[in-house]
Each structure stands twice: as structure tokens, then as C-alpha cells.
Chains A and B, each alone.
Chain A
Amino acid sequence: MYDVAIIGAGVTGSAIARELSKYHARICVIDREEDVCCGTSKANSAIIHAGFDAEPGSLKAKLNVRGNAMMDALAGELDIPFTRTGSLVVCTASQNRADLEALMEKGRKNGVPDLRILERDELLTLEPNISDDVVCALFAPTGGIVCPFHMTMAFAENACTNGVSFFLNTKVDHIEKSEDGYRIDTTHTDSGKTETFAAKVIVNAAGVYADVLNNMVSAHKLHITARKGEYCLLDKDAGTHVSHTIFQLPSKMGKGVLVTPTIHGNLLIGPTAVDVENKDAVNTTQAGLDSLGRTASLSVKNIPMRQVITSFAGLRAHEEGGDFVIGEAADAPGFINAAGIESPGLSSAPAIGEMVAQLAAEFLGLSANPDFIPHRKGILRPETLSMEERNRLIAEHPEYGNIICRCEMITEGEIMDAIHRPLGARSLDGVKRRTRAGMGRCQSGFCSPRTMEILEREVPMQMFDITKNGVGSNLVVGLNKEL
């Protein structure tokens, strides 16, 4: 019997798991995918919003601002790559300046610090590539950029270190109220074996599927729509085209798209916003990709769209009420929702973790875990070391002298670390999200066979069992002449 079963190992579920591991409790996290961070958390804008966007008084507003404020300490504790680059909402000549001022007012009500409006002259000194039509912008210095993979991994690995059990490749089929809590029936996505979990408290952090889980136990139905957002990622050569996250002032033409540097030095453009029926429809579309460059050019000029190295789509969990749905379902004691976590979900995750953990702890009367380890070290990046330090490292661990991914200069040592650390990588994408091997301009053309060899040797596993991203995504199908 678990005290708490968290369903969903995205950034929300992982942040909750980490916060809950500060208490004395038996906790597990269940996810249908082969790794943590496989849903919305892996395909988003990778930014920490300042918090001026949400309606004052909403959970989105409160948790965004709180989550943003928590990031510096968290980045230090958990070794999460995070930089406060600041964000800009740009207003063009044809738009209403009053709307920008209203946005600033909203932000102030939400408690966003240091907001101010910059005129074009000052703006140009910050962002020379801003579009010629832009007349002014709302500047939020607390906006930041983050690696969403590392943020999620950091929470999950630290939770794991502090005793939380993770059950991956485990799909929840059914939840039922039992005498002392809940019964969760699951199927292992690889072996097909069924397993039943029992927990006093369930935390529903299942992203676009959170409504399905809620609706299994509660008459207060949730309705979550998957809202697709498509993105283009540009080569590092284009990474300094802008230095802040640049939003467009929402208008009747839509919310526009953002243009931002990423924490790893690329340029990211997106997202589109289209509601889709299929909750697994992470495909990009010609119309979506075509629109990105066009829309982005409203705020930033001369974006070198020829330097796109990949494009992707993520699904945001939009609940029809418009706000996050966090708290115990009224008719299901101990079933705590963390649902409808769309933007600013990543920014709010630290605060959602805090809030939900507190709710669960109060419900269960949990006491503090005296052995909680707050720190987690990320994967050692040799590029951050001096040549002397690096050579000491290589002398001891020669694998740090062997470059596997030549675009991102990732060594064998980093890939081995990614495999052997808590909740280690078992797939090509697992390695990629943890180390960036394969994320560069050749998009794993050169390093994928070599990374496969390392997985084969280190896990160890058979070549035929190595996947791109879990069950069914096997990379090779047979030996030569033996199909």
C-alpha cells in the first residue's frame, strides 16, 4: 500500500514527487511512457514565464509568479540549467498601446516585479533584430529560459534518490475507490502484464489524459482538450539572433508566436495553437510549420529560417474552465488533481509541487522526512571545466576523452552517466534528452549508431531491443540477409 501514487511523470508529477519526498511516506510515480518527461514536458517553449499573462487571482497567476521566484534556489539545489534572460512583449504600430499597458497592470497585480515599458530606441539596443513595425515593448526582467528535460529529470532523479519508486511503461487502465484509498489497475506496455497498485492518495498529473483519470472516480467531470503547438528549432548559428524571449502582444489575429534563445544556445520559434481530437497527435503539419516563420516575422526580422534543424509539436492540456485544476476532487477524498496544466505549467511546476505535496501531507498527516537529500548533481559537462580539470577527469575516466556526438561535442562519459544515474536512459531519446547527444545540427545522423553501441554495452541490452523512445520504436529490425 502506497501512501501516495502519482500518475504522470512529467514536470508536474515529478515536481510533486520531489516535494512529497520531503515527507515520511511511501510514494510511487506511474507513467505509461518508457522515461520521465515524455509528454507535454518535453515539447514546449522551454521558458520560465514572469507571470503577467494570467488573470489576477487565478491559480495560473499565483503559481506562475511563485514558481518563477523559486527557480533560482531550485536551479542551484538541483543543478538545473536556468537563466533569467528577461522577456519582452512587443507592440507594433497597428496594435493598441493601451493593451500593452493593461498587460503591465495585470502583471503588477499578479506580483510580477520590475515590469516596465521600453520605447523603440531602448528596445533596439537590447534587440537589434526586432521588427521594424515594433514601437514599444513590455519588459519583464524575471522571465527566463530553462531546459525542460533537465528540470523534469532533476525533480524525478532527486525524488528517486529520496526513495520514491518509479513505474515506467505502466499504463493506468482503471481506478476504483477502495476501503482505505484507491485501487489502480495497470498494464505493462512492453510485457503486457497487469499489475494492481493500492494507494491512500492518488495525485492525478496525467497531462492531456488527466480528465480521463478524474472521470473514473469523480462525478465532477473534467474536459481536457489537447491543444497542439508546433515549433521550429534553429541551429546554434542563429542562437544569438535575439537574446530575450520575445512574445507578441495578443490581438484578434491570435496570440502570436514567441521567438527565444534556448538555454543550450539554439533559437526556438513557436507555438501554433490548434485544438485536436487525438490526444496523441504530436505530428507537425505543413500549415503549422509554414505559418511559424511568417508569424514570427511580425516581431523579429530576418530570422534565418533556412537554419531550422528540427521541428516538433507538443500538446497542452487545456481544461475548459481555463485555469489549472488543483485540489481534491469534491466527491473523491484523497484523489488530488493537478490537471489542466497548460502554459504556464512549466513555470508553475515548482509551486504546483509545493501546493499538491502540502495537500497530500495534510490529508495523510505526514511528518517530515529527516533524511531528505535536497541536492542533485546533473550530468557532468566537461565543456564547463578548464583544460587541466578536464585532463584530470580523462586520466581517471578516459571515456570523457571520447566525443560521440560531434555536433554538440558530447562525450562517451556523459552518455554513460546518463545511463547509470537514477532513472537512467534506456533509449536513444532518453540519452538525447539527458545529454543533448543527437540534438545538434546533424540530428543524430552520425552519433545514433555509436550511442546504440554504448546502450548495448552499458545497460546492457540487445541491439534489437534498443528503441528511439520506448515500446514499439525499435531502431533495427534484423540482421543482414535475415529479414
Chain B
Amino acid sequence: MSTRELTCINCPLGCALTVTTENGSVTSVTGNTCPRGDAYARKEVTNPTRIVTSTVRVAGGVCPMVNVKTATDIPKDKIFACTASLKNVIVQAPVAIGDVILTNVADTGVDIIAARNIAAK
């Protein structure tokens, strides 16, 4: 049995949650004042994920950088692998929101997509 302390992010109250797990599954969540806290704690302990946003360089565009994001959330422990794999990526303008910049980033099965329109110069 192990416990983890978390801060709930659902509202400004920021409840201090204590999550107890046994063999990888959650046995109890305490400290929450509403059901959203319980759900957040369970997800955060068993499968924490994040949307990652970053930038890559643009060639021939009106701006030197385009911001990008993971198409869906990826495992939290893949965040740095994700940004590292964008290091040498250069995209050619024009770029449109939703364009796939990199497929299957860091073996997550998730694509990196453009989050901004950049016209060609």
C-alpha cells in the first residue's frame, strides 16, 4: 500500500488530496470536497497525461516560429521526450492549424500538429 499527496486542479479551492493505492489500483481518495476531486486523483495516480505545447522553426514564413501541440494528451513521463524530438524539426511555410508536423511523437501514437496559421513570405 502507498499514498500520494496531490493538489486538486478543478477549482480555486485546491483541495489537498491523499490517494491510497494498492498494487497499482486506487483504494481510496480523501481530502476532496466534490466528486471531481475523486476523479482527478484517480486519473492523476494511475494514468497522468498532459497536452504538450511547444514551437518549431519555420522556413520561408512570415514568422520564424510556429507553435505546435500534441493532438491529444500524452503520458506525463513522455513530456521531455516529446519536446526533445522537436529540436531539429523545421517546417516549410505555409503552415495551417491542424497540419501534422510530426507523427507518433516519442512513440506515444500521438501526432504533433500545428496550432497556428503561418503564411509563406
Which A residues form the contact surface with B (CB < 8 A)?
480-482
Chain B residues with Cβ below 8 Å from A480 are 55, 65
**CB of B86 closer than 8 Å to a CB of A:** yes
Q: Show 7 A/B contacts (Cβ-Cβ < 8 Å), sorted by A.
A: A480-B55, A480-B65, A481-B83, A481-B84, A481-B86, A481-B87, A482-B87
Q: How far is the CA of A213 from the CA of B65 in the complex (A)?
A: 51
Residue of A nearest to B55 (CB): A480
Chain A residues with Cβ below 8 Å from B55 are 480
Residue of B nearest to A482 (CB): B87
Q: How far is the CA of A481 from the CA of B55 in the complex (A)?
A: 10
Residue of B nearest to A480 (CB): B55
Chain B residues with Cβ below 8 Å from A481 are 83-84, 86-87
Interface size on B, residues (CB 8 A): 6
Q: How far is the CA of A60 from the CA of B84 in the complex (A)?
A: 64
Q: How far is the CA of A391 from the CA of B96 in the complex (A)?
A: 38
Q: How far is the CA of A482 from the CA of B89 in the complex (A)?
A: 13
Residue of B nearest to A481 (CB): B87
Q: How far is the CA of A60 from the CA of B87 in the complex (A)?
A: 62
Which B residues form the contact surface with A (CB < 8 A)?
55, 65, 83-84, 86-87
Interface of B is mostly: mixed
Residue of B nearest to A479 (CB): B57
Give the residue among B65, B84, B87 with the most A Cβ atoms within 10 A. Answer: B87
Q: How far is the CA of A480 from the CA of B67 in the complex (A)?
A: 12
Chain A residues with Cβ below 8 Å from B84 are 481
Residue of A nearest to B88 (CB): A481
Min Cβ gap B106→A in Å is 14
Q: How far is the CA of A450 from the CA of B29 in the complex (A)?
A: 51
Chain A residues with Cβ below 8 Å from B87 are 481-482
Chain A residues with Cβ below 8 Å from B86 are 481
Min Cβ gap A454→B in Å is 16
Chain A residues with Cβ below 8 Å from B83 are 481
Chain A residues with Cβ below 8 Å from B65 are 480
Chain B residues with Cβ below 8 Å from A482 are 87
Q: How far is the CA of A481 from the CA of B84 in the complex (A)?
A: 7
Q: How far is the CA of A19 from the CA of B55 in the complex (A)?
A: 55
Min Cβ gap A172→B in Å is 42
Min Cβ gap B104→A in Å is 19
Min Cβ gap B95→A in Å is 17
Q: How far is the CA of A480 from the CA of B83 in the complex (A)?
A: 10
Q: How far is the CA of A18 from the CA of B12 in the complex (A)?
A: 64
Q: How far is the CA of A482 from the CA of B87 in the complex (A)?
A: 8
Q: How far is the CA of A482 from the CA of B86 in the complex (A)?
A: 11
Q: How far is the CA of A368 from the CA of B82 in the complex (A)?
A: 72
- Top-3 shortest CB links A-B: A481-B87, A480-B55, A481-B83
Min Cβ gap B107→A in Å is 19
Q: How far is the CA of A481 from the CA of B81 in the complex (A)?
A: 12
Q: How far is the CA of A482 from the CA of B57 in the complex (A)?
A: 13
Min Cβ gap A464→B in Å is 15
Min Cβ gap B63→A in Å is 12
Q: How far is the CA of A370 from the CA of B59 in the complex (A)?
A: 56
Min Cβ gap A342→B in Å is 48
Min Cβ gap B37→A in Å is 36
Q: How far is the CA of A480 from the CA of B65 in the complex (A)?
A: 10
Q: How far is the CA of A481 from the CA of B85 in the complex (A)?
A: 10
Min Cβ gap B105→A in Å is 14
Q: How far is the CA of A482 from the CA of B55 in the complex (A)?
A: 13
Min Cβ gap B70→A in Å is 16
